[in-house]
Structure 1
Amino acid sequence: MNWDSIALLVLALSGTLSLLLSQVRDVLAKTAEVITAWQEVRRCLEARAGDRSRQSPPQD
């Protein structure tokens, strides 16, 4: 193994690590967005269920 091979190996490893870390960061950012959106959906559904329970029941 000569210095050229070592230099190429270091460059390849650093590029791979950089790509991996950026992908992990993107996944974590998207996960946070999905959790926030899901919480908003739950709040809307709970508010809608609360509105329905306050309405008078249908009269026959």
Structure 2
Amino acid sequence: AIMVNKVRLPIVGPEGLLFTLKDVLYTPEIPRLDEPFTVKGKVELFGITFFLIKV
């Protein structure tokens, strides 16, 4: 897996709230949109962990 220390791309959430992601980990290292992959990291605004699985 590959670790991206800081992702500084702002993301627009509910009601126009902006936040960034940090400590992002992709498995496999280079995900393909047509295959399952996982993304883990933290939402910087709240410091909470997120986990996403693309199937």
Bin of the TM-score, shorter chain as denominator length: under 0.3
Q: Which of the two has greater helix per residue?
A: 1
**Structure of higher RCO (CA pairs closer than 8 Å, 6+ residues apart):** 2
Greater Rg over alpha carbons, structure: 1
TM-score, normalization by structure 1: 0.13
